[in-house]
Chain A
Amino acid sequence: MDRNLLHELNRARAARRAAAVVTDTQTGEQRLVPERDASGDPLSDELQRRFRSGRSGLLEDGRTFLTVSVPPPRLVVIGAVHISQALVPLAAVAGLDVSIIDPRTAFSTPERFPGVELIADWPEEALREHPLDDYTALAALTHDPKIDDVPLAEALKAGCFYVGALGSRKTHAKRVERLGAMGLAPEQIARIHAPIGLDIGAQSPAEIAVAVLAQVIQTLRRGRTVAEPAEAKTAA
């Protein structure tokens, strides 16, 4: 392996960008393919499949190996609320990198959320520092449009693999109108999981947290939508 290739791979990883190393294991010949260049690569289909699954592997020719590097999935929770107090530790156990954003300092206290990245700031400020990406899930849980709407719009624009919002169907219908007025297309808005969480009859905040986490995992493992924004980016 060329040391420059290793350097570029590590840079992509640090920036939370997916990349693959294509190696001919007979000759040792190698190239690095960033995800954004995958559509123009001779192995385009294979690469795009593997970027979705995150799995490295040998191709059918028995000699070409793809080392696939995708960022660890992250969960951004909007709202330091009661549901979040259960969701955050559950998600951490499941292996997600979790952060919470809530500008209301009465909610955003380290006592309520020990040992987790807690940002007591408005989402628009917080997301400027920590931008959303394809490998991030966003759950908006405040119930307050002033706090939830902007990060929901940002999550849809950034192509977050999961976007969920708390609220009844009626609340969500009004939200759909507001997001439309913010310039989002109906098919983008339709990606929001609302009411949030798998339908398991959850009642308590902790049960809702389980339903939300299960839905995040289901979307990650079965229904990633990474391909759509990636294609849109390539076309642009």
Chain B
Amino acid sequence: MNDAVLAGDVLEYAERWLGEGREVALATVVETWGSAPRPVGSHLVVDAEGNFEGSVSGGCVEGAVVGEALDVIGSGAPRMLEFGVADETAWRVGLSCGGRIRVFVEKIA
């Protein structure tokens, strides 16, 4: 439930940032396999400058998610991301814990 509280704060950041006229994308963990660091429903909010609040992993893939979120802010089209040891880029942005996660990224407009 602490997760729920923290996730909630992220949504408040999203609204506050929108109110300040910033462009915002929301990333949400929608599926996990194996030992994933953050539960389904965890959020990361990103603005067009790459500022972010919240987390979708223990810090392993946030960099990559922020990069994708900037694209989503630009295009407005949502996308699904997948990370894990099976990923070919695992050496770069994989989950060291050996889990796998899917993250949905959407623009808030």
A73 to B1, CA, bound (A): 8
Nearest CB in chain B: distance from A64 CB, A: 10
Across-interface contacts of A1 in B (CB, < 8 A) = 26, 106-109
A13 at the interface (CB under 8 A from B): yes
* A-side interface size class: 20 to 34
A65 to B104, CA, bound (A): 9
User: Is A25 in contact with B41, judged by CB distance below 8 angstroms?
Assistant: no
Give CA–CA (A28, B12) in the complex, Å. 21
How far is it, in angstroms, between the C-alpha of A7 and the C-alpha of B30 when the chains are bound? 21
A-B contact count (CB 8 A): 63
Chain A residues whose CB sits within 8 angstroms of the CB of B108 once the complex forms: 1-3, 6
B30 pairs with A10, CB closer than 8 A: no
Partner of A10, one of B15, B31, B41, B106: B15
In the complex, the answer to whether B1 meets A56 with C-beta atoms within 8 Å is no
B: number of interface residues (CB 8 Å):
25
B43 to nearest A CB, angstroms?
Answer: 8
How far is A203 from B8 in the complex, measured between Cα atoms in Å? Answer: 39
Query: Once the chains bind, are A69 and B28 in contact (CB under 8 Å)?
Result: no
Q: Is the CB of A58 within 8 A of B30?
A: yes
Q: Are A65 and B28 in contact (CB under 8 A)?
A: yes
Inter-chain contact B8/A69, CB cutoff 8 Å: yes
* Cα separation A174 to B11 with both chains bound (whole Å): 48
B2 within 8 A of A: yes
Closest residue on chain A to residue B16 by CB atoms: A10
A10 near B5: Cβ-Cβ < 8 Å: no
**Distance, CA A55 to CA B31, complexed state (A):** 12
Q: CA separation between A58 and B32, bound complex, in Å?
A: 10
CA distance A68 to B28 in the complex (A): 12
Q: Are A95 and B2 closer than 8 Å at their CB atoms?
A: yes
Closest to B28 in A: A67
Tell me if B11 and A10 are in contact (CB < 8 A). yes
For residue A99, CB closer than 8 A to chain B, the reply is no
Is A156 an interface position by the 8 A CB rule? no
**How distant is B8 from chain A, measured CB to nearest CB, in Å?**
5
A54 near B1 with CB under 8 A, answer yes
A40 to chain B, nearest CB (A): 24
Q: Are A72 and B1 closer than 8 Å at their CB atoms? A: yes
Distance of A136 from chain B, by nearest CB (Å): 13
| Extra A-B contacts (14), CB below 8 Å, given A6-B15, A10-B15, A28-B77 | A1-B108, A1-B109, A2-B109, A3-B18, A6-B11, A6-B18, A10-B11, A23-B104, A23-B106, A56-B39, A58-B40, A67-B28, A67-B41, A69-B8
Listed in ascending order, the chain A residues whose CB lies under 8 Å from chain B are: 1-3, 6-7, 9-10, 13, 23, 25, 28, 54-58, 65, 67-70, 72-73, 95
Q: Jot down 11 A-B pairs with beta carbons below 8 A, ordered by A.
A: A2-B108, A3-B108, A6-B11, A6-B14, A54-B1, A55-B40, A57-B40, A57-B41, A58-B40, A67-B28, A95-B1
